[in-house]
Structure 1
């Protein structure tokens, strides 16, 4: 997969225009990009330099190694799509009346509280606060006590919501407080990545 195709696919997956992508980079890095820069990147007429690859990596939430071609780009997109779609599919199934049985009947079954954790993160990322809060409340109601990391994740999602809506200071403070309340030995890579996502929203 060409770099230009990857940039276009990542941009359109967010529902952004070329102008919006350039605006995001400008807001974060103080540059003066316009869509006239982005368009040649996506057509493959011009390859972004190392600086702009780093900017794209942060703004599009994609590892720099993927943009630099050190990781198979098509495989990355397939994996990313699967991870993003799973909570939506689960939410659609629940909305259509598919509910969990009274008891777990399979070692591969996903408990409803876990589906709600997925839904919470997805809705927080999309700015759908009502859905995120409802999913967080539902997850907390059934969350097993011996799993404090998931409770921390839910609280960090509450920090992601204001950060995504522009109040990065309040969002970061809330997410950091939640993470710091958990013993450091229980911090996972996922939590550290989520903290970075909040800080860089």
Structure 2
């Protein structure tokens, strides 16, 4: 493979457009690289000089030697894990970070909570590849510190976020991480953590329409651990509601939707922009898709309007979710082609680096939806 093809593969694996790659290099190295020049590299019209080879190595997390060779075996440097790139140099850095953390004691508990807060906010706007790369490094560090129940809680919450960077269709990876996160949560001996981890996994899988059996199991476990209103319980209930809707069990889905709204009234979040929160707008994003799946057009439109009324403008990805729900409604009403075209147009408006794996799953569901078909993926 020529260097241009490798640059393209690595860029796409990171979820970067040519423009975003150029901008990232410029931000980090003070250069004036253009999208057109990146395109020329990828088309082999030009070859990056020594300076840009080093810049690309840093930005794309690829060994410099791989970029310096004319012919390389790209599969040595690419994995199939949702487009993640784990190069040998990166693996070395991760291992070094882990051992160094163990030797010096690692971050304090307060520092870990601060990191969780940061990642919870960043997840709402960053692409899956960025989050996966950052959180994988943190997991290597935290596993060297698992000496207290609290740090097991930290690890469980990080593992749950990491699992969400894999597509729901990749059940072997996503589900494995969710299950390990649940086991780690059990080691924390903290009921709130145990419920939240299971509930977050359930809503992720239920919303995506993937691994519905696992979503039900995790939701049932969370709901059995206590009836105290919490965000974990809310996620579990809404995840199970989506699972029921996708199976065509309308009665159960609506019953769980009502139960979820009651829990929300007691446990809603004030925080607006964190994956660890469920404010009013996000609850309505959950309900918008649920009601669209059930064919309740009036209810879905109302939920969409309520979500938009409080959705922070800094979160365009979730505005795209709401528009794609409209596409699903069109498809379910019989206009399959029109619904898919509308959803695709809305997805294309969002910069590629802002795309989430959940949005891709939703696009697949809409493309396969038709009247009477529940579109289980």
2:337 counterpart residue number = 169
Among 244, 265, 290, the residue aligned to 1:98: 265
User: What residue is the counterpart of 2:241 in the other structure?
Assistant: 85
1:34-183 paired onto structure 2 within 5 Å: 76-81=211-216, 82=219, 83-85=239-241, 89=256, 91-94=258-261, 98=265, 103-104=270-271, 108-183=276-351
Instruction: Determine if the alignment matches structure 1 residue 190 to structure 2 residue 358.
Output: yes
Distance 1:130 1:143 in 2: 20
Distance across 2 between alignment mates of 1:139 and 1:150: 9
Once the two structures are TM-superposed, the CA of residue 112 in structure 1 deviates from its matched residue by 1.0
Q: Any conservation in 1 of the 2:323–2:346 contact (CA below 8 Å)?
A: yes
After superposition, the Cα gap between the structure-2 partners of 1:152 and 1:164, relative to the gap in structure 1 and judged at 3 Å, is same
* Native 8 Å contact 1:91 1:115 kept in 2: no
Q: Distance in 1 between matches of 2:212 and 2:358?
A: 19
The Cα shift of 1:127 comes to: 0.5
Query: Contact 1:91/1:119 (CA < 8 Å) preserved in 2?
Result: no
CA RMSD of aligned residues (A): 3.3
Q: Is the alpha carbon distance of 1:102 and 1:185 closer, same or farther for their aligned partners in structure 2, counting shifts above 3 Å?
A: closer
Query: How far did residue 163 of structure 1 move?
Result: 0.5
* 2:269–2:277 CA contact under 8 A, matched in 1: no
Q: How far apart in 2 are the matches of 1:160 and 1:121?
A: 8
User: Structure 1 pair 180/109, CA: closer, same or farther in 2 (3 Å)?
Assistant: closer
* Cα separation, partners in 2 of 1:125 and 1:154, compared to 1, 3 Å: same
**1:85: how far off?**
2.6
- Say if 1:91 and 1:139 are closer, same or farther in 2 by CA, change over 3 A: farther
Distance apart, 1:190 and its partner CA? 0.6
| 3-state SS of paired residue (2:265) | coil
Query: Contact (CA 8 Å) 1:120, 1:133: kept in 2 or not?
Result: yes
Cα distance change, pair 188–97 in 1 and its aligned pair in 2 (3 A)? closer
TM-score by length of 2: 0.31
- The 2-side partners of 1:167 and 1:132 are apart by 17
- Residue 165 of structure 1, CA deviation: 2.0
**Deviation digits for residues 118-157 of structure 1, max 9, x if unmatched?**
0000001111111100000000000011100000000000
Q: Please report how far the alpha carbon of residue 169 of structure 1 lies from its aligned counterpart in structure 2 after TM superposition.
A: 1.0
Taking structure 1 as reference, are residues 163 and 99 closer, same or farther at Cα in structure 2, changes over 3 Å only? same
The 1-side partners of 2:260 and 2:290 are apart by 16
Please report how far the alpha carbon of residue 94 of structure 1 lies from its aligned counterpart in structure 2 after TM superposition.
3.2
Contact 1:153 1:191 in 2 (8 A): yes
Q: TM-score, normalised by structure 1?
A: 0.55
